A = this chain, B = another copy of it.
C-alpha cells in the first residue's frame, strides 16, 4: 500500500458488491491510495448502529482490481472502526461513503448507514463525506454523481479542513444537460409519514410491512430538498454535537432549579 499518497477509506451501506461503491472507487482514481472496507451485505437504514454482544468477521476480497478491499459482517460504523484499528493502523486522510442508491437528504441523514459511516470517521477526526444519488436502482446512472464526488473530494484534499468536517452530498437524478451544479444547503425540515401494511402469514400470524411517504413542509430556498428539485447537488455540512443550545437556555430559565 502506497502510504505517501493520501489514504482514502471507501465504505458504504449498500454492501461491498453494490454498483454505487464501485462507481465511487472509480471516481477516486488517482486522488490517493484507496482502501475499501464495506459491509458484506446490504445495511440500509442501519443508522449509527454498532455491533455489541457478538463478534465481527472480516475478510480480504479481490473484487476491485489493484485495490485492497475487505468485507465485514457488521454495520457501516463497524467497518470504519475496523478499518482504522485493524487494517490501516492509522487514520485515513479522508473517508468517503457511498455512492448510496437513494437520497439521504433532509431527515434521512439520521437513518442513513452511509452518513453514519462518514460521521464515525469524522468523530475520529477524519474529514469525511457521504454521497447519495436519487435513484434506488442497481442499474442507476452514476455518471453525474461520480463527477460530483471527484470534484468535492479533490477540493477536500486541497483545502485545510477542520478535522471534524463532515459533508452530506446528494445528487439529483437528472440528465447531464439538466444538471445545474453544486450548492451548500441546510438540512430541510421534513419527516417520514409511516403507515404499515398489516398482513397474515401462511400460518395465520400477523406481520407488518413499513410503508413510508416523505413529507416536506419546509419551503425554504436554502434547503437540500429545494436544491435537488432545482437540479443541483446539495452539500450539507453536518455536526454531531446534538445539543440544542437555544432550548438549553430556554429550559434553564423556564424550569428553574430542580
Interface of A toward B, CB cutoff 8 Å:
42, 44-53, 55-59, 77-78, 81-82, 84-86, 107, 109-111, 116, 119, 123-124, 151, 155, 159, 162, 165-166, 181-187, 189, 191, 194-196, 198-199, 205-210, 235-245, 247-248, 251-252, 254-255, 257-258
Contacts and interface: CB of A to CB of B under 8 A. Distances in A.
Contacts of A44: 52-53
B258 A182 contact: yes
A123 B107 contact: yes
Contact of A151 (B45, B252, B258): B258
Given A52-B45, A236-B248, A81 B155 contact: no
Nearest to A191: B123
B165 A199 contact: no
A78 B206 contact: no
Given A50-B111, A55-B208, A242 B251 contact: no
A73 to B, nearest CB: 9
B58 A50 contact: no
B237 A244 contact: yes
Nearest to A72: B208
Given A44-B53, A181-B258, A196-B86, A242 B245 contact: no
Contacts of A251: 184, 235, 237
A50 B45 CA distance: 5
Which of A210, A245, A255 neighbours the largest number of chain B CB atoms within 10 Å of its CB? A210
A242 B244 contact: no
A56 B244 contact: no
B237 A247 contact: yes
A70 B115 CA distance: 31
A208 B84 CA distance: 14
Given A58-B208, A239-B242, 10 more contacts: A42-B53, A50-B111, A123-B191, A124-B191, A166-B244, A184-B248, A187-B241, A187-B242, A237-B251, A238-B244
A206 B57 contact: yes
A254 B159 CA distance: 9
Contacts of A86: 196, 198, 208
30 contacts: A44-B52, A44-B53, A48-B110, A49-B49, A55-B199, A55-B207, A56-B207, A78-B210, A81-B196, A85-B195, A85-B196, A86-B198, A107-B240, A123-B191, A151-B258, A159-B254, A159-B255, A165-B247, A182-B258, A183-B258, A184-B251, A186-B241, A186-B243, A186-B245, A186-B248, A236-B243, A237-B243, A237-B251, A239-B243, A239-B244
